[in-house]
């Protein structure tokens, strides 16, 4: 039990949780305001403003830098990981979302009865550069304040 308490009182973990749940909570609120519906899927869903993956890893990285020092190798490692996550969010996952959209159009044109696919292809996978940038800024603020 002592380990669980240590984990959840670790300010680096707290920064990560605030980054994640804060960003995802913001997505739920904006969906509620924009579409007038409560969409609980937005709590765990990807895509949207801001990038919660970016906000989370950035909050962790800057909390580590604030604690250990921005000149330390662990901060450099975190910063490199942050850049990889940002690239993935805006590049790879955005491309995958666009591909899912095209595949759905192809299936629709050919006819769903001719192509059997189990499940739903998600189009909202990645982020725009603005969504990633806002996630980065949010993460810096959280990481420095926690």
Tell me: pLDDT of 98 over 80: no
Could you tell me which residue, 117 or 29, shows the higher pLDDT?
29
Percent of the chain with pLDDT over 70: 73
Q: How far apart are the first and last CA of the chain?
A: 24
Compute how many other C-beta atoms are within 10 angstroms of the C-beta atom of residue 35: 9
119 pLDDT band, cuts 50/70/90, is low
Q: What is the DSSP string of 118-139?
A: -S---S--S--HHHHHHHHHHH
Q: Quote the pLDDT of residue 123.
A: 53
pLDDT per residue over 44-80, tens digit each? 666 677 888 999 999 999 999 999 999 999 999 999 9
């Amino acid at each position: 039990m002592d380990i669980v308490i240590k984990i959840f009182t670790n300010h680096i973990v707290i920064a990560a949780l605030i980054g994640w749940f804060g960003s995802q909570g913001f997505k739920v609120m904006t969906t509620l305001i924009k579409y007038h519906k409560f969409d609980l899927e937005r709590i765990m869903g990807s895509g949207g403003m801001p990038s919660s993956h970016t906000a989370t890893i950035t909050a962790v990285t800057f909390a580590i830098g604030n604690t250990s020092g921005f000149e330390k190798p662990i901060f450099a490692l975190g910063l490199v990981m942050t850049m990889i996550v940002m690239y993935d969010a805006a590049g790879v996952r955005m491309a995958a979302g666009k591909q899912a959209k095209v595949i759905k159009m192809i299936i629709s044109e050919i006819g769903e009865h001719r192509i059997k696919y189990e499940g739903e292809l998600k189009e909202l996978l990645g982020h725009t550069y603005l969504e990633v940038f806002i996630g980065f800024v949010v993460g810096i603020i959280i990481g420095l304040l926690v």
